Structure 1
Amino acid sequence: MTPTSVEKPHHVDDARMRHISDADLAEAFGVATLADLRAQLSLPGRPRPVWDPARWAAANPASGPAVVAEADALLDRQVDFLDRGMGRSRLYGFHYLGWLNPLIQADALTGDPRYAECFERFFGQWYDSRDDVVGDWPGLDVIWYSLGVASRGAVFAKALAVFGDRLSQTRWAQLVKAIVGGARWAYEEHDSFRHGNWQLFSVAELLHVASVFPEAVEAPAWSARARQRLLDHLDRDFYADGGHHERSPGYHTMCLEALHRAAVIGEQHLGWDLAADERFRATHDWLAKLADDVGWIPHLQDSGVVWPAKLLLRGDYFHPGLGYGDLAAGWLTPAEIAEELSWLPPAPPRAPAAHAVVRGSELLATSRYAILRGAGTQTVVNFGPHVGHELESHSHHAALDFVIAADGVPLAWEAGCPPSYDDPGYYDWYQATRGHNTVQPHNAQLSTERAVVVDTFATLPQLDVFAAHHDGYPVRHDRRIVFVRAEPHYWLVTDVLGQNGFVWRIHGLAPWTDHGPGYRTAGLLVVPADPAGVERSDGPARIPDAATRQADYGTIHGLHLTFDGDRSDVLLTPAAGQQAPPTLSRRGRTLVVRVGDYEDHVTATHWKRFDAHTGTLIEDAAWS
Structure 2
Amino acid sequence: MIQRKMGMVCGVAAACWMALCVSAAEPEVGPRLTDEQFFARIDTEQAGLADVKAAVARADWTAAKHAFAQHLRTRTSPSWTFDPQRAGANKKARVSPRAEAALQRRLSSIGIEWAFGETIDWAFNPTTQPDSKWPRNHEWTWQLSRHPMWQDLGRAFYATGDEKYAVEFVAQLKSWVQACPVPVKKPDNRPFSRWRTIEAGIRAGGVWPDVYHLFLSARAFDDEALTLFLKSYVEHAEYLMAFKTTGNWLTMEANGLYHVGALFPEFKDAARWRATALERLTAELDIQVYPDGAQIELAPGYHGVSVHNFLGPINLVPLTGCAVPDTYVAKMERMFDYFLYSMQPTRRTPALNDSGAGGVEGWMRTGAKLFPHREEFRWVATRGKEGRPPAVTSYRFPYAGQFILRSGWDQKDLWLCMDGGPFGYGHQHEDKLSVTLTAFGKSLLVEGGVYTYDASDWRRYVLSSRAHNLVMVDGMDQCRRKSPRDTYVVKEPEPCVWEQHADFEHAAAVFEEGWGTNAARVVRHTRHVFFVKPDLFVIADELEALDGKPHLYETLFHFDAPDVRVDGLQVVTLDEGATLAVAAFGADGVAIVKGQKEPVVQGWLPDSSAGYGGVRPIPTAIYRKQAAGTIRQLYALVPSAGAAVMPVTALSMDDKVLTVTREGGAQTRYAYSRQFAR
Equivalent residue in structure 2 for 1:75, among 82, 103, 112? 103
Q: Name 2:112's counterpart in structure 1.
A: none
Shift of 1:266: 4.4
Q: Name 1:335's counterpart in structure 2.
A: none
Shift of 1:492: 0.9
Q: Name 1:556's counterpart in structure 2.
A: 618
Shift of 1:517: 4.0
Give the secondary structure class of the aligned counterpart of 2:383.
helix
Shift of 1:56: 13
Q: Aligned partners of 1:207 and 1:221: how far apart in 2?
A: 9
Letter in 1 for 2:155: Q
Q: How does 1:101-116 map to 2 (within 5 A)?
A: 101-116=151-166
Q: Could you list the per-position Cα deviations for residues 483-518 of structure 1 after superposition, in whole angstroms to 9, with x for gaps in the alignment? A: 1222xx111111112224311111002334312541
| Contact 2:560–2:618 (CA under 8 A) maintained in structure 1 | yes
| Contact 1:197–1:255 (CA under 8 A) maintained in structure 2 | yes
Q: Aligned partners of 2:393 and 2:407: how far apart in 1?
A: 8
Q: Name 2:133's counterpart in structure 1.
A: none
CA distance change for structure 1 residues 188 and 274 in 2, over 3 Å: closer, same or farther?
farther
Q: Aligned partners of 1:527 and 1:214: how far apart in 2?
A: 65
1:480 aligns with 2:528: yes
Q: Aligned partners of 1:196 and 1:223: how far apart in 2?
A: 19
| Contact 2:125–2:192 (CA under 8 A) maintained in structure 1 | no
Q: Name 1:491's counterpart in structure 2.
A: 537
Equivalent residue in structure 2 for 1:329, among 382, 399, 424? 382
CA distance change for structure 1 residues 156 and 293 in 2, over 3 Å: closer, same or farther?
same
Q: Name 2:232's counterpart in structure 1.
A: 178
| Contact 2:536–2:636 (CA under 8 A) maintained in structure 1 | yes
Shift of 1:443: 4.9
Shift of 1:394: 0.5
| Contact 1:150–1:202 (CA under 8 A) maintained in structure 2 | yes
Equivalent residue in structure 2 for 1:254, among 297, 300, 305? 305
Give the secondary structure class of the aligned counterpart of 1:514.
strand
Give the secondary structure class of the aligned counterpart of 1:564.
strand
Letter in 2 for 1:562: R
Q: Aligned partners of 2:275 and 2:254: how far apart in 1?
A: 10
Shift of 1:553: 4.9
Q: Name 1:118's counterpart in structure 2.
A: 168
Give the secondary structure class of the aligned counterpart of 1:83.
coil
- Larger mean Cα displacement after TM superposition, 240-249 or 578-587: 578-587
Q: Aligned partners of 1:468 and 1:157: how far apart in 2?
A: 46
Shift of 1:422: 0.9
Q: Name 2:635's counterpart in structure 1.
A: 570
- Larger mean Cα displacement after TM superposition, 13-22 or 90-99: 13-22
Q: Name 1:15's counterpart in structure 2.
A: 21
Q: Aligned partners of 2:370 and 2:544: how far apart in 1?
A: 50
- Larger mean Cα displacement after TM superposition, 80-89 or 310-319: 80-89
Q: Name 2:588's counterpart in structure 1.
A: 532
Give the secondary structure class of the aligned counterpart of 2:332.
helix
Q: Aligned partners of 2:193 and 2:530: how far apart in 1?
A: 48
Give the secondary structure class of the aligned counterpart of 2:363.
helix
Letter in 2 for 1:95: S
Q: How does 1:212-231 map to 2 (within 5 A)?
A: 212-231=263-282
Letter in 2 for 1:541: L
- Larger mean Cα displacement after TM superposition, 565-574 or 446-455: 446-455
| Contact 1:204–1:261 (CA under 8 A) maintained in structure 2 | yes
| Contact 2:405–2:416 (CA under 8 A) maintained in structure 1 | yes
| Contact 2:31–2:177 (CA under 8 A) maintained in structure 1 | no
CA distance change for structure 1 residues 579 and 132 in 2, over 3 Å: closer, same or farther?
closer
Give the secondary structure class of the aligned counterpart of 1:563.
strand
Q: Aligned partners of 1:164 and 1:534: how far apart in 2?
A: 64
CA distance change for structure 1 residues 44 and 580 in 2, over 3 Å: closer, same or farther?
closer
Q: Aligned partners of 2:645 and 2:470: how far apart in 1?
A: 29
CA distance change for structure 1 residues 293 and 534 in 2, over 3 Å: closer, same or farther?
closer
Give the secondary structure class of the aligned counterpart of 2:668.
strand
Shift of 1:534: 2.9
Q: Aligned partners of 1:132 and 1:279: how far apart in 2?
A: 34
Q: Aligned partners of 1:411 and 1:114: how far apart in 2?
A: 49
CA distance change for structure 1 residues 264 and 365 in 2, over 3 Å: closer, same or farther?
same
Letter in 2 for 1:425: D
Shift of 1:220: 1.4
CA distance change for structure 1 residues 531 and 316 in 2, over 3 Å: closer, same or farther?
closer
Shift of 1:360: 1.5
- Larger mean Cα displacement after TM superposition, 71-80 or 590-599: 590-599
CA distance change for structure 1 residues 598 and 579 in 2, over 3 Å: closer, same or farther?
farther
Q: Aligned partners of 2:154 and 2:147: how far apart in 1?
A: 12
Equivalent residue in structure 2 for 1:211, among 262, 265, 270? 262
1:459 aligns with 2:500: yes
- Larger mean Cα displacement after TM superposition, 197-206 or 450-459: 450-459
CA distance change for structure 1 residues 358 and 144 in 2, over 3 Å: closer, same or farther?
farther
Q: Name 1:387's counterpart in structure 2.
A: 424
Q: Aligned partners of 2:215 and 2:608: how far apart in 1?
A: 38
Q: Name 2:194's counterpart in structure 1.
A: 143
Sequence identity percentage: 19
Q: Name 2:406's counterpart in structure 1.
A: 373
CA distance change for structure 1 residues 168 and 270 in 2, over 3 Å: closer, same or farther?
closer
Q: Name 1:417's counterpart in structure 2.
A: 450
Structure 1: stretches of 5+ with no match in the other structure: 333-351, 546-550, 607-624
Shift of 1:139: 4.2
Equivalent residue in structure 2 for 1:298, among 347, 350, 355? 350
CA distance change for structure 1 residues 97 and 595 in 2, over 3 Å: closer, same or farther?
farther
Q: Could you list the per-position Cα deviations for residues 159-189 of structure 1 after superposition, in whole angstroms to 9, with x for gaps in the alignment? A: 2223235314433222111110001000111
- Larger mean Cα displacement after TM superposition, 437-446 or 66-75: 66-75
Give the secondary structure class of the aligned counterpart of 2:21.
coil
Equivalent residue in structure 2 for 1:408, among 424, 441, 455? 441
Give the secondary structure class of the aligned counterpart of 1:524.
strand
- Larger mean Cα displacement after TM superposition, 491-500 or 356-365: 356-365
Shift of 1:211: 0.6
Q: Could you list the per-position Cα deviations for residues 7-46 of structure 1 after superposition, in whole angstroms to 9, with x for gaps in the alignment? A: 5599999737951112211111134232332233223213
| Contact 1:533–1:562 (CA under 8 A) maintained in structure 2 | yes
Give the secondary structure class of the aligned counterpart of 2:634.
strand
Shift of 1:430: 0.7
Letter in 2 for 1:182: H
Cα root mean square deviation, aligned:
3.6
Shift of 1:310: 1.7
| Contact 1:249–1:300 (CA under 8 A) maintained in structure 2 | yes
1:314 aligns with 2:347: no
Q: Could you list the per-position Cα deviations for residues 403-428 of structure 1 after superposition, in whole angstroms to 9, with x for gaps in the alignment? A: 0001221111100110x101513553
1:159 aligns with 2:211: yes
Q: Aligned partners of 2:331 and 2:524: how far apart in 1?
A: 35
Q: Aligned partners of 2:303 and 2:653: how far apart in 1?
A: 46
Q: Could you list the per-position Cα deviations for residues 230-249 of structure 1 after superposition, in whole angstroms to 9, with x for gaps in the alignment? A: 11011211111211111111
Q: Name 2:42's counterpart in structure 1.
A: 29
